[in-house]
Structure 1
Amino acid sequence: MDRALDSAKTDFGQVRTGRINPGLFQKIPVDYYGTPTPLAQLASLQVPEARTMIVTPYDKSALKEIERAIATFPNLGASPTNDGTIVRVTIPELTQDRRKEFVKIVRGKGEDAKVQIRNIRRKSKESLDGLKTEVGDDEVARGEKELEAVTKGYIDQIDDALKKKEAELLEV
């Protein structure tokens, strides 16, 4: 359940807000000598302004591939420019409609994380039911109550992270 929560928070961080965030770009796959490599392994990412980021590649020969990968990555709307040594990335201001689309995307990712947690709960409940003959009904019932409490705690944490991200997205 911890991994499902961490995954949800990572997914939420990859949805862009009005400010540019290096977390959006870290996992962009760049074709580096025929191998898709995450951008964070090929370059340093710096944010000098709210809507501008500077990508400094460790290997200057990967500059064009980095620029191409950023330009073609979906749902960013980023426009990279290459000056021969760095790639300067600017993102446009978000419209209200675009913000609402991103809220829908975040809600979908939150629901996916909740489904993962519920699947873990279901498997754990099946394991507890298999133990009825060994430990007794009272112990299984107590275990199920604890399982429900833990599950509710994780779902509440996802809901809290979702509310924060929605507020961040809708903030103008």
Structure 2
Amino acid sequence: MSVQFAILVREKRGYMFDTTPYEQKMNSALTHFEDDLKKVRTGRAHPAMLESVQVEMYGTKMPLNQAANITAPESQQLLVTPFDPSNIVAVVTAIRDDQSLGFNPSDDGRVVRVPVPALTEERRKQLVKQTSEKVEEARIALRNIRQDALKDAKAKKQAKELSEDDEKRVGKEIDKLMSDMQLKIDEAFKSKEKDILTI
């Protein structure tokens, strides 16, 4: 009997366990981790550094990247060009007021220049430590999703909706997903660590 046929039989009996929702949750956790990493400052200017900035415009707050074009023409400078030049003061204020960035922007009436100061060795070490904490948070999120999947599979087995073999198969599938995600997290961390420590 082919594997595909066996799966179809189990589906017809209602014994199938769908791992897709758990895979989606793991992918969401990974995406959240990668987004967090983008916000960690490295020694080089990168447009993603300003992603967290919210600008007060037309009576509402909006993300800076929806109000301006952000580029990094040099390794130590960001250039912000508001789509509407009349909002330049609001853009400068929003960047300056974001304490987590510590940037001191200036403008010439058309564009905003944001100097990105070089990181000290001590600051680089702090950023690596911060990043490793984000790695641990992502791993905890993955472990929680894995535990939920295994708990749900066990409940289905106890309700006779899943055989013992199927429960083991689900466990192996979830463990494989987990190790794939952890590998991606480790690769992203190593890449970010290298960026932070490169002078």
TM-score for the superposition, normalised by structure 2: 0.82
CA distance in 2, matches of 1:36, 1:107: 31
| Alpha-carbon shift at residue 37 of structure 1 (Å) | 0.5
Displacement of 1:14 in angstroms is: 1.2
Match of 2:34 in 1: 9
Q: How do residues 1-172 of structure 1 correspond to structure 2 at under 5 angstroms? A: 1-132=26-157, 133-172=160-199
Contact 2:153 2:162 survives alignment (8 Å) = no
- Asked if the contact 2:79/2:112 (under 8 Å) is kept, the reply is yes
Deviation readout 1:24-67 (Å, 9 max, x if unpaired): 11331111233221000000012221111111101122211111
Gaps of 5+ in 1: none
Farther-moved stretch of structure 1 (104-113 vs 49-58): 104-113
Aligned residues: 172
TM-score normalised by structure 1 residue count:
0.94
**Whole-Å separation in 2 of the counterparts to 1:4 and 1:141:** 24
State the 1:125 CA deviation: 1.1
Which amino acid in structure 2 is aligned with residue 81 of structure 1? S
Runs of 4+ in 1 over 4 A off after TM superposition: none
Instruction: Give, in angstroms, the shift of residue 21 of structure 1.
Output: 0.2
Could you tell me which residue of structure 1 aligns to residue 6 of structure 2? Answer: none
> How far apart, in 2, do the equivalents of 1:56 and 1:136 lie?
60
Name the amino acid aligned to 1:78.
Answer: F
Structure 2, unpaired ranges of 5+: 1-25
- Take 2:91 and 2:127, find their aligned partners in 1: how far apart are those partners? 25
Tell me how far apart the structure 2 counterparts of residues 168 and 48 of structure 1 sit (CA, whole Å). 18
SS at match of 1:84: coil
Aligned-residue CA RMSD (Å):
1.3
Indicate the structure (1 or 2) with the bigger Cα radius of gyration.
2
Q: CA shift at 1:72, angstroms?
A: 1.9
